[in-house]
């Protein structure tokens, strides 16, 4: 016998509690309860009366009421997982879950700093005390390598090879990769590390004043404080230094696949968001490279009104 929507939701949540985190289960419960109430308003109480059209109409209603595409996509992802659970038990047809399509997301361009803004930010950090040397090394390292903040704070002393200009980082999914550490970052690290070695109570490269490992939140506070110290500098999230790294690498002529490797992206499509070079830069590159488009050259065809 096919259960009601409410009973199926309860069964799904009981099963999810064994496989997912409490936070995920709570989120599933909220999304499914909202969907169940939406179905109740339309007189749909049993699973055998549910159709893919109902799911699509629910998504359309959410969008019409101003819900963000990301929120609707999350809701549909939950419903698809729920329908797959129901299909495995023979309560609905398997094809129902597969016909749930997520809305195409609007990819927002990441916020980043221009090269002169990065220079202003980092060069503003001066001094020979521990905090100044650490903050300078931290900002130089983040910008030089493009690593994620989580990768930066988990970096250990044994992961650095300053003589070769490399660092080993552990990225998403436990994937290990090597990133290059530029000259300025190496110099900043060499000034910072002697103080770090005297104070450290752990193996972390970047530590706090008590000798413990910096956290993601600590790095965010360092960046926020240093940005506020530079008059007129635009505020960015700490991930903005990673965006700046990728943007400046591509603008400087690096190929997309090299940047993908340095960023640790599993898919090239993740890296393509950074190909937001300005129209002016594209125009300069085009007119400098295309033999039939160079401005002011003899190769350009002249107009002839007598044709």
Task: Point out the residues that are catalytic.
Answer: 148, 172, 239, 242, 265, 274
Which among 262, 280, 247 has a CA at the least distance from the CA of 112?
Answer: 247
- Please give the C-alpha separations between residue 166 and each of 163, 190, 258, in angstroms, as whole numbers: 8, 14, 15
Cβ-count burial of 120 within 10 angstroms (0-12 exposed, 13-18 middle, 19+ buried)? middle
Kind of pairing, strands 176-180 and 160-161? unpaired
Please give the DSSP secondary-structure letter assigned to residue 5.
Answer: H
What are 123's two structure tokens?
Answer: 């060069």
Instruction: Look at the chain and count its residues.
Output: 307
**Residue whose token pair is 């002249």:** 302
Kind of pairing, strands 166-170 and 160-161? antiparallel
Chain Cα centroid distance, residue 256: 17
């Amino acid at each position: 016998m096919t259960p009601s929507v409410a009973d199926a939701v309860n069964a799904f949540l009981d099963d999810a509690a064994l496989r997912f985190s409490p936070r995920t289960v709570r989120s599933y419960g909220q999304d499914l309860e909202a969907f169940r109430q939406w179905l109740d308003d339309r007189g749909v109480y049993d699973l055998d009366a549910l159709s893919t059209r109902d799911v699509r109409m629910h998504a359309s209603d959410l969008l019409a009421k101003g819900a963000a595409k990301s929120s609707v996509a999350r809701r549909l992802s939950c419903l698809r997982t729920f329908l797959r659970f129901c299909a495995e038990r023979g309560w609905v047809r398997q094809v129902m879950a597969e016909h749930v399509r997520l809305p195409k997301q609007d990819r927002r361009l990441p916020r980043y700093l221009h090269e002169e803004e990065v220079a202003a930010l980092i060069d503003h950090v001066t001094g020979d005390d521990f905090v100044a040397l650490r903050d300078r090394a931290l900002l130089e390292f983040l910008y030089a390598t493009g690593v994620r903040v989580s990768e930066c704070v988990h970096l250990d002393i044994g992961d650095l090879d300053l003589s070769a200009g490399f660092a080993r980082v552990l990225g998403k999914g436990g994937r290990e990769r090597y990133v290059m550490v530029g000259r300025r970052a190496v110099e900043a690290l060499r000034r910072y590390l002697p103080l770090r070695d005297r104070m450290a109570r752990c193996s972390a490269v970047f530590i706090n004043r008590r000798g413990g490992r910096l956290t993601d939140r600590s790095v965010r506070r360092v960046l926020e404080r240093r940005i506020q110290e530079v008059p007129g500098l635009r505020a960015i999230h700490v991930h903005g230094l990673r965006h700046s790294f990728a943007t400046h690498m591509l603008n400087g002529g690096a190929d997309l696949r090299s940047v993908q490797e340095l960023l640790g992206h599993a898919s090239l499509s993740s890296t393509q968001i950074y190909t937001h070079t300005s129209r002016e830069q594209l125009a300069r590159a085009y007119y400098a490279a295309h033999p039939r488009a160079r401005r002011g050259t003899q190769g350009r065809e002249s107009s002839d009104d007598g044709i």
